[in-house]
Amino acid sequence: MINKYINKVLIFSLILFLSSCAGASILKLNGGTIDYTKIKTLSIQPILNDAGQGPPTITINATEKLREFYLRNTRLSLVQASGDMQLEGRIVGYEVIPVAPQGGSQVATIQRLQIKMEVTYYNAVEEDQSFDDKVYTQFEDFEQNQTLSQVEEQLVEIILDRIVFDIFNDTAGNW
């Protein structure tokens, strides 16, 4: 599952790199576009944690991952506020869910860490692309014999990467 995600990210990054080498002013991926002649700036407000759960650094990590991904994969300039593209979000869910009971036992052998992030996106140039309060949900499973504290940092990293990728696809990739 992780390998498929990594392959998608690598392919997507390669396409973006090749597009930028060609000097195109419009990036097109499966119909998605960023018209760099009109859209030049991006503002991403700090992500909030309304779930009240998770590691204390989750909001900082989520915010930085979003900013870094957009800067690495677009030619947009990051500004403090009022960018041509604007993102703000909040973590609205952070929970461990028991899954996969085995055999006749009612005890789950797999646990699932699930994170939900609600995002508002405003595109000042193409307002019809904007959306409010879209919820992105991703999860990663771990064995019952592991405690959350043993795997939490790694799982949060994986889950946030997936959420950032989904947000990017819906805003800049427009897939």
pTM of structure: 0.79
* CATH architecture of structural domain 2-173: 2-Layer Sandwich (3.30)
Do 142 and 158 meet the contact criterion of CB atoms below 8 Å apart?
Answer: no
Domain range summary for the chain, segments of one domain joined by +:
2-173
CA distance 167 to 7: 17
- Please answer whether residues 139 and 40 qualify as being in contact, where contact means their C-beta atoms are separated by less than 8 angstroms: no
Reading the chain (175 residues) residue by residue, the pLDDT tens digits are 565 555 655 555 655 555 554 444 444 443 346 889 999 999 999 999 999 999 999 999 999 999 999 999 999 999 999 999 999 999 999 999 998 766 666 666 899 999 999 999 999 999 999 999 999 999 999 998 899 999 999 999 999 999 999 999 999 986 5
